[in-house]
Amino acid sequence: MFELIEDQITKFKKIVFVTGAGISQESGIPTFRGNDGLWRNYDAMKLATIDAFYDNPKLVWEWYNERRRNIFQAKPNSGHIAIAELEKYAEVVVLTQNIDGLHQKSGSSKVLELHGSIVKIKCSVCDYREEILTEITNLPPLCKCGNILRPDVVWFGESLPQDVWQNAMNFASKCDLMIIAGTSLVVSPANTLPIYAKQNNATLIEINPENTTMSGEMNLEIRKTSAESLPKLVSLFKNKL
């Protein structure tokens, strides 16, 4: 599977993962663009916008409550666990588009959440932020300032937190191996991270059962699931170092 890079394994010291919804698919969390994309006849992608929230905050909160229930029950799969284990052999940073926290749950220590976190909520107007691990009730929830509280995630059309994005670009620009796992690479600006790595002559590996628009840029394409392939990659490091 990874024969093409087997001989080079020892040269990779700074590894960056760019992950997306596909890496958590084998933990039972549906992706956005897969067959599970529909929810109560609404397009899930159309619920993840500020316009949808202001049109119908209760509906968007019901959808987030359902996602929160699903995500809180989910356990890291062997793909997440393999990434955490790789820290024994190299410097590893995970740049994730996921909001599910499963990389941290599996033990990864350097995780940058590009799109926020589903456990966090924030005021749509003031600076109030909070972490809530239980069901959100009385929808939509209200802030002490009287405005509506919203999930602390980045919705389509919104900017990423600037400090997180700056750090992500820095790590991408300095890595020697970038592994892009479980993302369709259609969401900007996360989909530009492989370009920064390429400018540093990093080796790019894509792990995804399907092609993506950037597959042509990869040094190696693994058309398998992340839970199947990532433990094999880690065993290469284990055996060579």
What residues are labeled active site? 115
The reply, when asked if residue 123 is annotated as ligand binding, is yes
Question: Of 32 and 89, which has the nearer Cβ to ligand NAD?
Answer: 32
Q: What does 219-236 look like in DSSP terms, one character per residue?
A: SEEE-S-HHHHHHHHHHH
State how far the Cα of 234 lies from the Cα of 87, in Å rounded to an integer. Answer: 10
Question: Of 42 and 91, which has the nearer Cβ to ligand NAD?
Answer: 42
The reply, when asked if residue 210 is annotated as ligand binding, is yes
Q: How far is the CB of 67 from ligand NAD (least distance, A)?
A: 8
Q: How far is the CB of 54 from ligand NAD (least distance, A)?
A: 20
Q: How far is the CB of 238 from ligand NAD (least distance, A)?
A: 22
The reply, when asked if residue 226 is annotated as ligand binding, is yes
For residues 5-26, one letter each, b for 16 or more C-beta atoms within 10 angstroms of the residue's C-beta and e for the rest, the string is beeebeebebbbbbbbbbbbbb
Question: Of 23 and 218, which has the nearer Cβ to ligand NAD?
Answer: 23
Question: Of 97 and 104, which has the nearer Cβ to ligand NAD?
Answer: 97
Q: Which residues bind ligand NAD (CB under 6 A)?
A: 20-26, 29, 31-34, 97-100, 115, 181-184, 186-187, 207-210, 212, 225-226
Give the tokens for residue 185: 């690479």
By CB atoms closer than 10 A (0-12, 13-18, 19+), residue 213 is exposed
Pairing relation of β-strands 116-123 and 149-153?
Answer: antiparallel
State how far the Cα of 226 lies from the Cα of 25, in Å rounded to an integer. Answer: 9
Q: How far is the CB of 142 from ligand NAD (least distance, A)?
A: 26
Catalogue the E-assigned strands of 23-124. Answer: 38-39, 42-43, 91-96, 111-113, 116-123
Which residues carry a binding-site annotation for NAD(+)? 97-100, 182-184, 208-210, 226
Which residues carry a binding-site annotation for substrate? 64, 67
